[in-house]
Chains A and B, each alone.
Chain A
Amino acid sequence: MTGNAVRRPGMDHRQVTCPRLENTAMKKKTTMTVTEIRSLAEGIFSMKLRYPEGDAPEKVLPGQFAGLYPNDPSKLLPRPISICRWEPDSGELQFVFRVAGAGTASLAAQKTGDKVDMLGILGNGYDLGKLAGKRVLLLGGGIGIPPMVELAAALNGIPGSEVKAVMGYRDSSLFLTEELKKYGNLLIATEDGSVGTKGNVLDAVRENGVTADAVCACGPMPMLRAVKKFAQEQGIPAYISLEERMACGVGACLGCVTKTVKTHSHSHVRNARICTEGPVFDAEEVEI
């Protein structure tokens, strides 16, 4: 626990003045061990990080994320990366990320046994209570696909819930398809038409006449806007995971906000913090 926070007197009062969502676990910065690193497709890497013995959180929810620190002193900020899988038995988190710059490149260059500092677990994930017993359409676009694996697994474990996954890729370099197939039906869309439906995830949904009681989506902003519209047309709720440039990751700096429809109860303006109130929002509550 060296270097990590411990609960101290005084903290509990926070619950009184600022109640938080129940699924937000204690946050800490932890030195994790790389247990696996591999390339899944061009520029897409999977990295497994293991908690030190006894340091793992009690609960990790689909849609939550962590901040991974590049091993480069010129780079100060943690990279917000969504959790692809949580394996409580081994205390391992799997992250699947795209190399987008020097920071993520340095993460991709880690080797098994290396140490990576991680700030976690951050944000609020998908509300499984609202999805239980429903036919849930999971839409993932590009690097928005990884969190859908943990969500599919969680929903698969809830009796009466049904997973219908539709994932969109650029081309035939697919990733995480085998993992997704384990938990439900999987349809694929590719921009170049090389696999599945040519087009985006909603083209595949329409082409196959997929229906559902709720939609969960993660992907680029144009896709999320289209998903919001689709859900409105269908008269079903949509829960979308947003992305923004972040600094602190814990709700202090107000760097990563999204516009909200109503005045938000924390900010008292029409802004919510993606790192703290999000990253998952009811699409009807945000202006995207």
Chain B
Amino acid sequence: MREETYRSKPDMTVNIAGVELKNPVMTASGTFGSGMEYSEFVDLNHLGAVVTKGVANKPWEGNPTPRVAEVYGGMLNAIGLQNPGIDVFIERDLAFLKQFDTKVIVNVCGHTEEEYLEVVERLADEPVDMLEINVSCPNVKQGAIQFGQDPGCLEDITAKIKRIAKQPVIMKLTPNVTDISVMARAAEAGGADAISLINTITGMKIDIEKRRFVLANRTGGLSGPAIKPVAVRMVWQAAQAVKIPIIGMGGVASAEDAVEFMLAGASAVAVGAMNFHDPYLTQKVVDGMEQYLMRHNIQTVRELTGAVQ
């Protein structure tokens, strides 16, 4: 196996809307904070991008507890987008992230159009590579998901954000819709530079002994390996519908899962809830994807995108 040993390392770089990432592995918003906590486990310099937890124009308290529950092969969460607000985020979290040689993607949330636009505007001159717009959180009472479940609203808010955004815009889509391709097309029509999917699937857990909802919010977003087949299917459907790049996520637990998302049509992948299971997972996915490419004698990771037959 001499050839195997001496074969040059595959090209892991990917390009999303003009931004070159050293590899296609990112973190899924909300599962990695702003990277600070996991920087004890993973060298952030090795990741394609860090996608931050959603940030709003002002601090949000989030939902009452319990906010999380484990379910078979996954978990439910209803954090309610607790965040310290854009001022603290820029001063503390962005200052921390810019020390690393990785791309920074800021997830933006809001209750109203004005709130989204305010955050986008505030980030215009900050060291941010891309914006990911969370129009898909199932856990906040108003805003968020409403924009993501109506194609007209989604196209409209995408267009408004695009008019003022200085960075490429990724619209993060919810799977809680009848036809994901309609939503993908709406984002593209609004001028989105990329889409990411899937956000969590709305779920529920009941404690049968106490006859009570486990989460204080009653419903929560399901994530983890339990949702991966749904996510792969939706990434594939979206890839059939639009030309803009797709960032695929939903239950990625290994490099093999990441490859599966790429084959379905994703240009990059994000590791989410499984960071909680294995805080080293992002790095393992990067390494494992590289090994997969070498094993299959594939020169560049970009060849995987949409390569399912």
Contacts and interface: CB of A to CB of B under 8 A. Distances in A.
Interface of A: 3-5, 8, 10-11, 13-14, 17-18, 26-29, 69, 74-78, 103, 119, 244-258, 266-271, 276
Contact of B65 (A8, A17, A28, A256): A256
B20 interface: no
Given A17-B96, A77-B277, A252-B38, A270 B68 contact: no
B132 to A, nearest CB: 17
B67 A267 contact: no
B276 A253 contact: yes
B143 interface: no
Contacts of B72: 74
Contact of A27 (B41, B43, B53, B59): B41
Q: What 8 A-B pairs have minimum CB-CB distances, sorted nearest first?
A: A268-B84, A255-B68, A252-B33, A252-B37, A76-B277, A245-B66, A248-B276, A247-B68
B74 interface: yes
Interface size class of B (residues with CB under 8 A): 35 or more
25 contacts: A5-B279, A8-B43, A14-B39, A17-B92, A18-B92, A28-B40, A76-B225, A76-B277, A78-B277, A245-B65, A247-B68, A247-B75, A248-B276, A250-B40, A251-B33, A252-B31, A252-B33, A252-B37, A255-B65, A255-B67, A255-B68, A256-B67, A257-B67, A271-B61, A276-B37
A4 B43 CA distance: 12
A29 B59 contact: no
Given A268-B85, A269-B61, 17 more contacts: A14-B39, A74-B73, A75-B70, A76-B277, A246-B68, A247-B276, A250-B279, A253-B33, A253-B276, A254-B62, A254-B67, A256-B67, A266-B84, A267-B59, A269-B60, A269-B82, A276-B37
Contacts of B45: 8, 10
B216 to A, nearest CB: 10
B100 interface: yes
A268 B83 CA distance: 8
Nearest to B61: A269
A81 to B, nearest CB: 15
Given A13-B99, A28-B41, A269-B59, A253 B68 contact: yes
A249 B45 CA distance: 23
A276 B62 CA distance: 17
Nearest to A3: B280
B32 interface: yes
Contacts of A3: 280
A286 to B, nearest CB: 12
A253 B88 contact: no
Contacts of B278: 29
The secondary-structure label for the interface of chain B is loop
A254 B92 contact: no
A176 B36 CA distance: 38
Contact of A257 (B37, B65, B74): B65
A169 B239 CA distance: 59
A77 B70 contact: yes
A27 to B, nearest CB: 5
A13 B92 CA distance: 12
Given A256-B65, A268-B85, A10 B44 contact: yes
Contacts of A78: 276-277
Nearest to B78: A255
Nearest to B46: A8
Contacts of A266: 84
Nearest to B101: A10
A14 B36 CA distance: 7
A28 B37 CA distance: 11
A75 B277 CA distance: 9
A252 B67 CA distance: 13
A69 B279 CA distance: 13
A245 B37 contact: no
B273 interface: yes
Contacts of B82: 254, 257, 267, 269, 271
A103 B72 CA distance: 11
A170 to B, nearest CB: 17
Nearest to A8: B43
B275 interface: yes
Contact of B279 (A29, A244, A257, A270): A29
A11 B275 CA distance: 19
A215 B29 CA distance: 40
A8 B59 CA distance: 32
Contacts of B106: none
Contacts of A276: 37
A6 B96 CA distance: 19
Contacts of B99: 10, 13
A76 B73 contact: yes
B275 A5 contact: no
Contact of A267 (B66, B84, B95): B84
Contacts of B275: 248, 252
B167 interface: no
Nearest to A246: B68
Contacts of B41: 5, 27-29
B69 A245 contact: yes
